[in-house]
Structure 1
């Protein structure tokens, strides 16, 4: 049986556009989307839930796909964090096991994301609305790449990552934007 999970970054928020660490209550900016019908799963964060509602008003919340816990950096500007704790920010941006903000490390996030992916590994098509950092971690894990590889990845709002699975191995599929030329 084929499984297909489409992970999508939530729509843009004001925090993203102003260089701030997100909070769980950041609203999205206006967007108009159309997607094929599939079961929709979402992070509990407001931006993810609002994005999921564009696809399905009854999206299922799954905490496995919540954003990284940024601890005391939630809602703070990256510049302010840098000015107050440059060494901590540098450690967080280079070591996936570090959590100088008192929240969650990338390594802990990776464990949570992988457990979430496994829960949907044997079902029909799903659309999972989550966060850019979750897509980065999922991609690194599916490709068996080191977690440090996330530092070389960028996912924009509404970017998608399609994971398919036949048997025990995940595969990455990059969908085309254009369906005809």
Structure 2
């Protein structure tokens, strides 16, 4: 089970920067969602500040999982997509069309998929298929997990939206995953429709 973290100021501004703390609004929304978090045998979170803060606000006793860190977008980190597109339109075009490209100097989309897919596959190897795993992970990580689990083409990643504080469930095991996606943990909010795509 994968929970996407609450929004923070950087994501509201559409910045490439998941590694920033939650603001008061994000903490408040995560606390409001705590009662809807399903039980799990094992709980982990991405080591990013936003995931760590969300896990804490949800009341989870979880451990950081390095494989679930946010997508490394290199020198684009902290910038808005509109700014990067204005300054480097060819680089952005290449990044969006070629899954092996990393013009920002960070991870390519294929690298992200390999990292997240390796973690997902390792759950079966560790015997975790006998229990449930709950992870708080950045939207890009959740999207990469879905692409890997369902064996979708890498570029399908760009067609998936993961809203804040939603639950994506993968059941089964490596090679035979089933998907249940997008259940909101918070009801009656407008933030679940404000998705930062990256």
Whether these two folds match at TM > 0.5 is: yes
Residue 8 (1) aligns with residue 16 (2):
no
Mapped contact 1:9–1:156 kept (Cα < 8 A): yes
The two structures have a TM-score, normalised by structure 2, of 0.80
Counterpart mapping for 1:68-147 below 5 A = 68-121=71-124, 122-123=127-128, 124-147=131-154
Gaps of 5+ in 2: 186-198
Q: CA deviation at 1:105?
A: 0.5
Any idea what SS the aligned residue of 1:93 has?
helix
Change in Cα spacing, 1:55 to 1:98, as seen in structure 2 (3 Å) is same
Distance 1:149 1:168 in 2: 18
Mapped contact 2:167–2:184 kept (Cα < 8 A): no
Deviates more, 1:55-64 or 1:122-131: 55-64
Q: Which structure is richer in relative contact order (CA contacts within 8 A, separation 6 or more)?
A: 1
Mapped contact 1:15–1:26 kept (Cα < 8 A): no
Distance 2:73 2:61 in 1: 28
Residue 45 (1) aligns with residue 48 (2):
yes
Change in Cα spacing, 1:37 to 1:16, as seen in structure 2 (3 Å) is same
Gaps of 5+ in 1: 1-5
The two structures have a TM-score, normalised by structure 1, of 0.87
Change in Cα spacing, 1:162 to 1:57, as seen in structure 2 (3 Å) is closer
Q: CA deviation at 1:63?
A: 0.9
Change in Cα spacing, 1:88 to 1:166, as seen in structure 2 (3 Å) is closer
Deviates more, 1:51-60 or 1:64-73: 51-60
Mapped contact 2:70–2:137 kept (Cα < 8 A): yes
Count of matched residue positions in the alignment of Structure 1 and Structure 2:
173
Mapped contact 2:44–2:65 kept (Cα < 8 A): yes
Distance 1:25 1:90 in 2: 26
Distance 2:177 2:114 in 1: 16
Greater helix proportion: 2
Q: CA deviation at 1:87?
A: 0.7
Mapped contact 1:40–1:56 kept (Cα < 8 A): no
Any idea what SS the aligned residue of 1:22 has?
coil
Partner of 2:196: none
Any idea what SS the aligned residue of 1:76 has?
coil
Mapped contact 2:22–2:53 kept (Cα < 8 A): yes
